[in-house]
Chains A and B, each alone.
Chain A
Amino acid sequence: MSGPSTYVPKSGFARWMDSRLPLMRFAHDTIITFPTPKNLNFWYAFGAILAFMLGIQILTGIVLAMHYVANADLAFNSVEGIMRNINYGWLIRYMHANGASFFFIAVYIHMFRGLYYGSYKAPREVLWILGVILYLLMVATAFFGYVLPWGQMSFWGATVITNFFSALDQITPHWGSAIATWLWGGFAVGDATLNRFFSLHYLLPFVIAGVVALHIWALHVPGNNNPLGIDVKGPQDMLPFHPYYTVKDSFYVALFALVYLAFVFYAPNFFGNPDNYTPANPVVTPPDIVPEWYLLPYYAMLRSVPQKLLGVLVMAGSLLTLLFIPWLDTSKVRSTRFRPMMKQFFWFFVIDCAVLGYCGAQSADASLTLGSFALPLVWIARLATLYYFGFFWVIMPLLGIIERPKPLPTSISQPVLAAAE
């Protein structure tokens, strides 16, 4: 933690405890007095929102697991039993299912925020990498979770994803399929697969919670970045975390929860796929196998490559690229506010991700018709994939060299003072 501890134990017990296991001191320094830049805006509330959503997912998940049966013959009906026969089972299940979507909405905003303000740059590289690991863990958790209700999309989604490994056969014959068979615990997605996925789906959120602790530790050593992207110069730039940010974060968490709960109560199947209300059937392939919305951009990149192994590599590469961002960005300036060229490329990148998501949701042979001219979507996805990689591997390194940033304010309190005069 930055700065010496200011905790003063108030009672005899607190003093006794403080010289044995200073838990209260730790909590006090972490969430009460922690010095925080005073200019953090709305976009900085998403860390708290993510922590809130993780709590919701773990709590609702534990209750669901009390009633869920991880067995290929019983899983679907056990979920329907939760919906119909368990007190408030429908609420728990809809909260968990929609919770996953809102967790991803929050994490994407959180990541774009990090990108925009250059929060991955020194000295926050480890913080950023821990964030990427959290994101990858979230993707894995969500994938395992989606398999559990054992509907048509559960089954076929799991089949498509696990089959990626058999693409490795193209380098080392039989090895890829051997890995797939090992993952399945059989020769196809089945009961054994469902059981291990349930086990992992229960485990990973607690791993996430552990990595979140590291993430916050890595945040509290250098301290928060801020929308100006400049270092704090002294106490005049800071506020204690409590009450300033506890109250600000609480307000935004409540606002976020309001929107989330509106979906839970009034459009609980909005993010879902109707096919998942049909029990898994290994002999009937659904006409369109699509992943959940938050994975669509990657799915579009995968499909934009005509060769299976290359497609899988491109998809894996798009995720792993995120780990290198701290070193791909060569600019001395953190915040995009002062980077006129980066600003444009950044927003184009946001649009690019949305375009990829759109392409991923359409059937593989879809095309966009403009009058009499039909443009196959796969070509749009190809261009978008190119920009995705180009943004990180070409534009980011180059911009740092050729761009002329706007002048930076001298301190966080300076623009505030200037405005007051």
Chain B
Amino acid sequence: MMTMKVLTLAFAALVATSASALAAEDLSQPQEPIKQSWSWDGPFGMYDRAQLQRGFQVYKEVCSACHSLNLVSFNDLSYENGGTGMFSAAQVKAIAAGYKVPAGPDEKGNTTDENGNPLMRPGIPADHFPAPFANEEAARAANGGALPPDQSLLVKAREGGPDYVYSIVVGDGTKPPHGFKVIEGKYYDPYFPGRNISMPPPLTNDSVTYSDGTKATLDQEARDITAFLTWAAEPKLEDRHRLGFGVMLFMLLLSGLLFLSYRKVWKDAH
């Protein structure tokens, strides 16, 4: 009985404090991104190839409709030929061929077909990802005046990095707190500056059907696309972590030896 009372009291206190915390929250300021743990965290962290493949699928099937990935070439997606990616060279070839990229003039010097459309050709691994819009104006016109930023460096270009990107994606389209007015044509996202975002919620459960059979929950998709975009922003992370370990060992050894030499040389220095 006694414990029950204490528990109820504690619960009431908790509700009261969290209610006052909510009341104190400044709704014009974004919330801190949700802290996640990632496979590439820490000095030994590495990307998870299967996760990168899923993340690529999310980029390809969803984000690439609005966001460019200008700095990344198809070749980069390969783990062969010195690449740091997640697919074999043969897979990359097939992926590239699935995209249409602007072609040069044909043998008669034409740059458009008979209907006046620019000539296109299938992509090759050396091509970069084609951008979804021809220019900034076209991108803004299609997105209610807002510009979907290029995603090649997005993770490194935002305070909070991967946690921020993950939070934006899961926070987009959530229910605004009582009293918050969402601007016409925008969506509530507690992690975005000003909390009104022009991006329609890009992901829900089952936005994609993963070819590896993983269940496509919103959380899973958001984590996967974040992994892919982190790789896109920092493709040499694994090399860096691996080489770093060797260098740290070497420097420790070197410092140790120099310390012993120092002690030996100075022993009879007085």
Contact = CB atoms under 8 A, between A and B. Distances in A.
Contacts of A262: 244, 248
A265 B255 contact: no
A73 interface: no
A268 B248 contact: no
A83 B152 CA distance: 12
A247 interface: yes
A287 B152 CA distance: 22
Contacts of A266: 43, 241, 244
B99 interface: no
A244 B266 contact: yes
B12 interface: no
Contacts, number: 83
A290 interface: no
Contacts of B243: 91, 265
Contact of A258 (B156, B251, B265): B251
B258 A254 contact: yes
Interface stretch (A128-136, A273-281, A369-377): A273-281
Nearest to A417: B270
B262 A265 contact: no
A107 to B, nearest CB: 22
A395 interface: no
Given A84-B76, A244-B269, A247-B262, A261 B248 contact: yes
Bin the interface of chain A by size.
Answer: 20 to 34
Interface string A31-64: 0000000100000000000000000000000000
A416 interface: yes
A247 B71 contact: no
B182 interface: no
Give the interface residue-count category, chain B: 20 to 34
A84 B235 contact: yes
A34 B257 CA distance: 25
A265 B159 CA distance: 20
B156 A80 contact: no
Contacts of A251: 255, 258-259, 261-262
Interface string A206-222: 00000000000000000
A128 B236 CA distance: 43
Interface in A343-365: none
Nearest to A242: B265
Contacts of A275: 157
Contacts of B252: 258
Nearest to B255: A254
A280 B265 CA distance: 53
Contact of B153 (A244, A247, A255, A277): A277
Contacts of A199: none
B269 A84 contact: no
A277 B156 contact: yes
A77 interface: yes
B13 interface: no
B244 to A, nearest CB: 3
A83 B153 CA distance: 12
B157 A416 contact: no
Given A38-B269, A274-B157, A90 B236 contact: yes
Given A77-B71, A248-B262, A251-B261, 12 more contacts: A83-B236, A90-B239, A91-B243, A244-B266, A248-B265, A254-B251, A255-B255, A258-B248, A258-B251, A265-B240, A266-B43, A275-B157
Interface of B: 43, 71, 76, 149, 152-153, 156-159, 161, 193, 233, 235-236, 239-241, 243-244, 247-248, 251-252, 254-255, 258-259, 261-262, 265-266, 269-270
